[in-house]
Amino acid sequence: GQNIDQPTEMTATEGAIVQINCTYQTSGFNGLFWYQQHAGEAPTFLSYNVLDGLEEKGRFSSFLSRSKGYSYLLLKELQMKDSASYLCAVRDTGDKIIFGKGTRLHILP
Partner 1 sequence: DVKVTQSSRYLVKRTGEKVFLECVQDMDHENMFWYRQDPGLGLRLIYFSYDVKMKEKGDIPEGYSVSREKKERFSLILESASTNQTSMYLCASSQGRTSFHSPLHFGNGTRLTVT
What residues make contact with partner 1 under the rule CB under 8 A?
Answer: 2, 30-31, 33, 35, 41-45, 48, 50, 87, 89, 91, 94-102
The 3-state DSSP class for residue 69 equals coil
Residue 74 and residue 18: Cα distance in Å, rounded? 6
Nearest approach in angstroms of CB 103 to partner 1 is: 10
Q: Which is nearer to partner 1, 15 or 28 (CB)?
A: 28
DSSP state at residue 15: T
Q: Which is nearer to partner 1, 9 or 13 (CB)?
A: 9
Residue 49 and residue 47: Cα distance in Å, rounded? 7
Q: Which is nearer to partner 1, 9 or 14 (CB)?
A: 9
